[in-house]
Amino acid sequence: MEIASALVLTAASVTVVCMTEEPLPALGADIGAAELSLSTEILQKFEAKGVKILVNTTAKSFQGSDQVNGVVLDTGATLEADVVVVGIVGREFSLEANAFGPYHHHQS
């Protein structure tokens, strides 16, 4: 979303494709109504600036031979694109990492 806020200042159009219902999961319903309200308010401000947000949608493939010029969505729609930014949100793997034992940082 940070990149969308920067691109909307100079790009003809900006579309954010989000796999989930909640584009800002850290501010989502899981942590309370106040945060959900904040998340909704932030998204409304993005939309007011011209950012189109597609939720529950996945980029299925990219079009173009030498450079990307389109994004095919799981809905069958295609977004024309001059620039594509892919963001991957990972989950914390500390539980899995802890299975290997404690981490000890050794300074040289």
Q: For the domain that residue 48 is a member of, what is the CATH number? A: 3.50.50.60
Q: Are 78 and 63 in contact (CB under 8 A)?
A: yes
Instruction: List, in sequence order, every beta strand (DSSP E) within the chain.
Output: 14-17, 51-54, 59-63, 70-73, 78-80
If one counts the domains in the chain, the total is: 1
CB-CB neighbours of 62 under 10 Å: 14
Domain of residue 86 covers 2-98
Contact 70, 80 (CB under 8 A): yes
14 and 52 Cβ atoms separated by less than 8 Å: yes
For residues 80 and 25, the model is more confident at 80
CA distance 64 to 66: 6
- pLDDT tens digits for 54-101? 989 999 999 999 999 999 999 999 999 999 999 876 655 555 555 555
